[in-house]
Amino acid sequence: MANLQINLCGLTLKNPTVLASGILGDSANALKRAADGGAGILTTKSITPEKKEGHKPPNIVSLKELGMINAMGLPNPGAENFSKEIEIFRKQSETPLIVSIAGKTVNDYLKVAEKIGNLGNVVELNLSCPNIEHGMEFGQSTELASEVTKKVKEIVNVPVGVKLGPNVGKIEEIAASCEKAGADFITAINTMPALAIDLEKEKPILTNKTGGLSGPALKPIALACVYKIYKTVKIPIIGLGGISSGKDAAEFFMAGASAVGIGTVIYTKGPNSFKIVCNELSEFMQEKGYANLNEMIGLAHKG
């Protein structure tokens, strides 16, 4: 096995795979399944100050080999209830946690950060949810993105990153403004606004009408975003969007990612997706003669 260990914001991770937010992240039990599947670090479901039910089904459409569209609508147990899940998880596993936070206002982010921000190892501000009203606004404005980053940084003791989406003019400018405001890392990217139509019913399939596209169809878009962000910022990037193999992960490292998120593939291959990606990545590195991941990061920018 090649050396897959990485350092992310001062944390040593046994491997660079990150459970993406939104899958297996809303309870201690689900997080434990991802930890057992071999993830290097786990991102929780995005948490809001109060419990949210989310959108009614159908809230997921499968696009087969292209991936899927979801419009979950941010269902989550709320900060108070979730603090108990983190406590339970902490007793069951040593895999580090990224606590994902979402909100409609700066105050929402601050409330959640105050309650659970320090219970994990890292905080990620979800500035890019495509499925709720105003969900993408923070990630589409350099001013709002930097304001929320700065304020959350003031009240938590752990590294703080931001998750950005592709539905913006220049994602690298948003990333740069967050870095300037003190962000410790960038996660790129969230899902892309998308639609599926039911031809028989002559209307959108999802109750929310539009949703977020994830999976293989998102990969080239995500790679371009990571590539542009790497050229602009110095802080590490967690790259994600359609990664389902070791070679997919290698592309993200070469584009500039320091770690890789695994999400949609878990629906088809299960929690062992982390082990599968790590084994394939290790094989690829051995074949190519890379001694560690640092040797691969940003390689596509040379020449």
Question: Smallest distance, Å, CB 51 to ligand RRO?
Answer: 14
131 interacts with ligand RRO by CB under 6 A: yes
The number of beta carbons lying within 10 Å of the beta carbon of residue 280 is: 17
Closer residue to ligand RRO (CB): 41 or 72: 72
Q: How far is the CB of 168 from ligand RRO (least distance, A)?
A: 14
Rank residues 17 and 191 by Cβ distance to ligand RRO and give the closer one: 191
The residue from 9, 129, 178, 225 that is catalytic is 129
The residue from 27, 190, 258, 273 that contacts ligand RRO (CB under 6 A) is 190
Rule CB under 6 A: is residue 139 a binding residue for ligand RRO?
A: no
Decide if residue 48 touches ligand RRO (CB under 6 A): no
Letters for 202-241 (x = contact with ligand RRO by CB under 6 A, - = none) are ----------x-----------------------------
Question: Does the annotation count 225 as an active-site position?
Answer: no
For the CB of residue 92, give the shortest distance to ligand RRO in the complex, in Å. 25
Q: How far is the CB of 25 from ligand RRO (least distance, A)?
A: 10
Stretch that binds ligand RRO, among 11-19, 117-125, 126-134, 143-151 (CB under 6 A): 126-134
Closest to ligand RRO by CB, 187 vs 258, is 187
Site of interaction with ligand RRO (CB under 6 A)? 22, 46, 70-74, 102, 126, 129-131, 190-191, 212
Which residues are designated catalytic? Answer: 129
